[in-house]
Structure formats: structure tokens, C-alpha cells
Structure 1
């Protein structure tokens, strides 16, 4: 049985096939052109561009791997900062990333440390849209490092001050609330550190200062050691600094005792220094006018030559007062008392000029058969004897002294052998007892 297809259906199929295949080459060209146009449009509206990020910091990963081995990690050649990182991506992605470096992630994983322990590869990515970024390239491919043994030391903190206090004031005690610092880091750097300082500025102050002072480290040549790569258990400390008023005061001293027989003290005493500068709270030092050294410190008893003694006047400072600058003055004063042997000479006393003292009531005194002059030997320091005017020496006879020396309570008429006492200046005395006869007789009524 034969089935006949209607003429109309056959014609339609042939017509559609003809339409599809007709001008096929032209249609393919049109398709390619359309694709190119689409690509051009896309690139015009969202082209691939580059963005450069400068001075990007490298984040070090797994740094504890180094510490667990008892080592330290030092980044060298400033390689932890990448000069430029260039990102290539569609403009919309670049715009999303922005110009901030926050979205640029640069890392160096210490697990990938090179076998010679000097470099670690640098890896770059972005924090978002990583799958749409065509490329990201750093200007440096490696982090340069130095691995070194870790060392820890402990040093006392030296407190210093800088600047100038007001005139008439000085810096007093400097009291830190912590006096030690612990320093850890690479052995070569830690071994350079010899001193730890904390400085407090004092310019213009006239009273107590309480301040936070940063700790700075110095080497043997007093060169500053940077704190980079070092760990300190404390980086600054609280410090109290006294600011004290100053005042110049004289030193007062006295001499006690008697030199050995035949010697005398000249009265001259050297004191070095004679004036000292003291310091303290202004209200305290305002009432201090002198520093007194007691006589016990300058006792010439039994001396046959000059007495030199060194006295620490800090033992005699009032409470709350101190020596202003113990760097230039230790507080020790040198005292020197001059001792010389006595010289002697003979002087003449005119008997007619003798003065009677203490004559008993109702009596009168007169010399008995004496010569006109009496010679008396006197002793004293040579310098005093040379100044003595021998022409003006007057002799005296004192009955009160006679009664005391001879245990007499009441005088009677009679003749007494009395000692002539020449009137001499201080420091000169008679060396011998010269007597003369004196008659006491009752007054005639």
C-alpha cells in the first residue's frame, strides 16, 4: 500500500531547509561578528585593567615554628615591605578591591623556609573575588630572613634626667617603681646591650615630678641600640624625681681642750671649705643659717703639733637637709688647728706700780724693803710675745687669791710673802712665781 504525502507538506519542508542553508557563509560571518561585537562591548563596559598597591606589608605565618626551636627571626633588607603589588582584573573587580591595601594579602609561611635558612617565598592573593583576578604579582618574590639563637638578659634600669630645672634648684633622688628590665632577642643584638636607661625631662620644674619614662638600651660605646627585634618585659616605667631648693651656708666650728704643757693654740683654724651648698624643701632650708660642727671634733687636748681632722658634716645636717651635689663635694670638711711651742722672755715690773687687790677690810698694805723693779719670766706664743708692749706691764697682788691658796679665812697684821701677778694679755702667762713681802696693818683711826 502506498501512502502519498500531500504536496503542500513536502513543499513546506523543502522551503524551510532552503531557508536554513541559504547564504550559510554569510550567516556564519554574522555570528562571528556578533560574538566579536559582544566581546568588544563587554571589554568596553568592563575592561581588564591593573591596579598597583605600594608598600604592602608581608604577614609572616607560622612564626612560632622558629621560636619553638629556641631561635629568633629577623627580617633583613626591609623585605617585609613589598614595594609594589600589581593586580590585574576586570575594572569592576578592581573597583571593588579599592585602593586600600586591606584587601591585598601578602604572606610568607615559615614552614617554607629555604634549606639555607635565608629566604621564604612570598605569596599574594586578595581577600575577595580571588577567582576573578587574572594575576597578582609582587615586586619581590622572597622574604629575606636571618635565623639566630635566642638570648635573654636582665639589666638594672639607670634613671637619668634631661633639661635644666629652675635657677636655685637641683635634681634630688630619682626613684623608679621598677628597677630591672628583662631583654630577649637575637643573641648578636642582645649581647650588644650593656645599659638600660629611663630619662625624665625636668626643664622648668620646682617640685616633685612623677612621670612615665621610656626605656632605652645602649651599647658599650653609649650608642643607642634599636628595639627592633628585641622583646622587653616592660617598655616604660613610672619614676618619681625630687626637685630641691638650694642654699649656701657657712660652717661653724669650735675648739676645745688644752695642748700639752709648753704648747699653745694660735687661735687660727683653717676650714676647707668654709661654705657649703645644701639642698632640701624650700621651707626647710630657709631656716638653716649655718652648719655647726661640735667641739668634740676639734679637741686639742695634749697636742704638741697641728691638729688636722676630717669631719663628715652630713652627720650634722638638720633633718630633711642634704649636700646639694655629692659629685663635687663629698660632705667631708678638713679642719686644721695650729699648735706651737711656747717661747719665753723676761719682763720688768716697777714695784711702785704694783696694785693691791682684795685687801682685807680695815687693813692697808705696803711693800716691805723691796727694790724698785722685779723681773718676771713670762711665756706665750712667739707671735704674741713679739706684739707685747713690755713698758705697760703692771703687777698685781691679790689677797683673795692668797687666802684661797693658803686656806686663810681671816688675816692678821703682819708680813706676807705674796705672788706678783703681771697683768698680761690672753695667751701670755707668768712662767714662775715671783714673791714679794707685803705688810698688812690696821688702818689708823
Structure 2
């Protein structure tokens, strides 16, 4: 079987090759002599003419579905059709012929083989959407993103130009709440000038699509100036002294330190920020108190808060020592009996009395019970035993609770 097939292909090989050659030649002759008419679809991009017909009325338009193309059928000899491409056709839509249903007829023209082709008689249309135009001016806010190099902070952000004019569909322009020019200062320690693209944001901070808007500027120049930074403690000076019997526990501030920025030559000489004594007068303080001041009022010239978003309010708290109680044993030898009637004498039945003393911690810690004296009043009393109230002499800032002592009064022997 294989041998038979082999002989079929190899016998008269010359005649077989010649026959194939003549078949190809015959096909080429037929193709060149017979050029039938054929039809093909082409696509062209539509150009809108005279759109000022709308824009001069304060209107805008957009092409429906953003589709600026038209497809059409062309009939011609096959040789012509094969020589044509999409670029051999132009398509225009003149706004002067706008219909009531917002469509414009498309005029399609062949730029090659125009007399040798036939285009479909069908009229094609492009659909547009029409709305009111709005123009607004927005102040451009200079912003930064990223963290500068350690020890540095942004001093100022300047934008040139600082106003942008926006024109376009009212429903788009009205969405714009603010315009920002954002410069990246990551790792920055020196001043920088950069060109940045504007950001158009709505009330929620989302970007507004400006592709269908006309802007008098889409980029601006942003200049960022840098400062050195430093964190220093806050110190509070005071005037006057506390009233007698009161002791100061501490004066604190919240926050206790503050981060500032400015030229390095200025910051080098700053070791603290001082709130002057005019704010706290201790002579008027009778209990714990606090007050709030704006720390920016006490910053040196050329120095500002590092982060402008930080709270500049500083709370100053003055705390007095708390009143405490302490039990003290006082020897009755330090007590006297006053106003004994003539011929009477008295003695204390106990060697000591226990007294609760009240006062601040400082006063009580230095209290010496051996130095405390007192007395009882025996006015009008006759012989007998009595519990008499003791009057004590205490240091400033210390008070004693009411206490009695047992006293025996006797008739003196004649």
C-alpha cells in the first residue's frame, strides 16, 4: 500500500509540477481580469463643527456615551476597496444642524477614490447631551504631605498662582468644595520649589473628575520653606506668697513641654518657654486652682508652634498641700488651770491628753508636741472633779479638735 502511494506521487513528477504551475498562473490571470464589486464597513472619527453655537449661550455639550465614531458601508471594485482604509474618510457634525432631539447629522466624505466608490445613502447621527455652563474661581490651598527630616518642620507653603478659574458643566463645577496643591516634603530639610498638579475635592474630600472642565491652570508652582524644630519645657513664674497656713505642693502645666519651630540661630538660645508671673499671683490663692493661657502669647519673635494644628492652650494647675490629721499626746504639765477661786487648788488627774491636730503635711511634720501649751478655765468652780475643755496654743496652719481634761479641785488647808 505504501509503495503504491509512493509511486503515485513520484511517477511523472515533471508533469505534476508543470500542472501546479499552470494552475497558479491561471488563478492570477482570472483575479486580475475579473475585478468584482464588493462592500466593506469602515469607521471614522466624528469632528464637531461650530460648537460655539452652544457655548455662546452659556451651554455645554457632551457626546452620548463618549462615542465620537461612526461606522458606514462603502461599495466599490474589490481593488479599490482593498486600497482604502479608515483614514481615507472624514466625518463631521455641524452644530448649526442640531435637531430638537439633540442629534446632529454626520457628513462623511472620502478623501481617496471618491469618484470610484458608493457610500450608503443612510443618514448617520451623533447624539449629544446639553447642560448649563458654570464658571467659578477657587483659592488654591497649599498643603504638604509626608514627614520632613528629623529636627525640621514646614514653615510656610506658597502657591503661584493662588487662584484657579474653572468652567464647565454646572453639576460638576458645583461639586468642587476646595482646590489643593500638595507638595511632598518627605525627608526634606531645605526649602523646595516644585510644580504640582491641582487636586479638586468635594465636601467629603473625594476627588472631582475634571476631565470635562476647562481650567485656566492645571498645575501651579509650590514653594515650601523649612524651619528647624525643638522641644522645650514650659516654666511658670509666680508673684506673691501664699496666705499664712497654706503651703504650695506643686505647679504643673499640661502639656509640660512644647515643640516649636524657627530659624536655628534663634532656637539655639531657647531652653524653655516661660509663662510670666503676671498670670499666677500666689497671694490670691486659697485653694487648688487652674487657669488656661494661649502659649503663643509667650513665644519669642520668629518662633511658632511646630504643628499649626496643635492646641495652643496650656493649662496651669496650682496644687496646695492637702490637710491631714494627726493624733498628738500632750503632757498635762504643759497645761494650766486658770481662774481658781481663792482657797482652792487643782490638779490634772491624767499625765497626758490625746489631741487630734489638723493641718497641712508640712506643718504637722514639723510639729513638736512638747512645745504645745494650753489651759482650762475653772471660773466659778468649787471643790470637786470636772471634765474641762482645754484651750490649746497651736502653730500657724495647725488646729486642734475639741478635747477635755479631767481636773480635781480641792480646798487648800489653812
TM-score (norm 1): 0.60
Shift of the alpha carbon at 1:145? 0.5
Give the direction of change, closer, same or farther, for the CA distance of 1:295–1:90 in structure 2 (3 Å limit).
same
Structure 1: how far apart are the matches of 2:268 and 2:120? 75
Give the direction of change, closer, same or farther, for the CA distance of 1:285–1:74 in structure 2 (3 Å limit).
same
Show structure 2 runs of 5+ residues with no match.
1-28, 331-357, 372-394, 399-414
| Secondary structure of 1:296's aligned partner | coil
Structure 2: how far apart are the matches of 1:381 and 1:256? 24
Give the direction of change, closer, same or farther, for the CA distance of 1:136–1:169 in structure 2 (3 Å limit).
farther
Query: Which residue among 287, 301, 315 is the counterpart of 1:305?
Result: 287
Give the direction of change, closer, same or farther, for the CA distance of 1:290–1:48 in structure 2 (3 Å limit).
farther
Structure 1: how far apart are the matches of 2:172 and 2:181? 20
* Superposition CA RMSD, Å: 4.2
Structure 2: how far apart are the matches of 1:250 and 1:85? 83
Aligned length: 320
Structure 1: how far apart are the matches of 2:251 and 2:71? 79
- Do the aligned residues in 1 keep the contact of 2:242 with 2:248 (CA within 8 Å)? no
Report what 2:61 is aligned to: 73
Query: Which residue among 158, 165, 169 is the counterpart of 1:182?
Result: 165
Give the direction of change, closer, same or farther, for the CA distance of 1:60–1:152 in structure 2 (3 Å limit).
same
Structure 1: how far apart are the matches of 2:71 and 2:199? 31
Structure 1: how far apart are the matches of 2:180 and 2:116? 52
**Aligned 1:329-340 pairs, distance under 5 A:** 329-339=310-320
Larger mean Cα displacement after TM superposition, 132-141 or 201-210: 132-141
Report what 1:277 is aligned to: 259
Note if 1:121 corresponds to 2:99: no
Structure 1: how far apart are the matches of 2:95 and 2:200? 29
Structure 1: how far apart are the matches of 2:318 and 2:48? 78
Shift of the alpha carbon at 1:342? 9.8
Give the direction of change, closer, same or farther, for the CA distance of 1:137–1:208 in structure 2 (3 Å limit).
farther
Note if 1:216 corresponds to 2:199: yes
Q: Deviations over 1:7-42 (max 9, x none)?
A: xxxxxxxxxxxxxxxxxxxxxxxxxxxxxxxxx899
Shift of the alpha carbon at 1:194? 2.5
- Do the aligned residues in 1 keep the contact of 2:323 with 2:361 (CA within 8 Å)? no
Report what 2:95 is aligned to: 110
Report what 1:241 is aligned to: 224
Structure 1: how far apart are the matches of 2:121 and 2:192? 51
Based on CA coordinates, which of the two structures has the bigger radius of gyration?
1
Q: Deviations over 1:215-261 (max 9, x none)?
A: 2323334332221221223222222223444322111222111344x
Note if 1:314 corresponds to 2:296: yes
Note if 1:165 corresponds to 2:148: yes
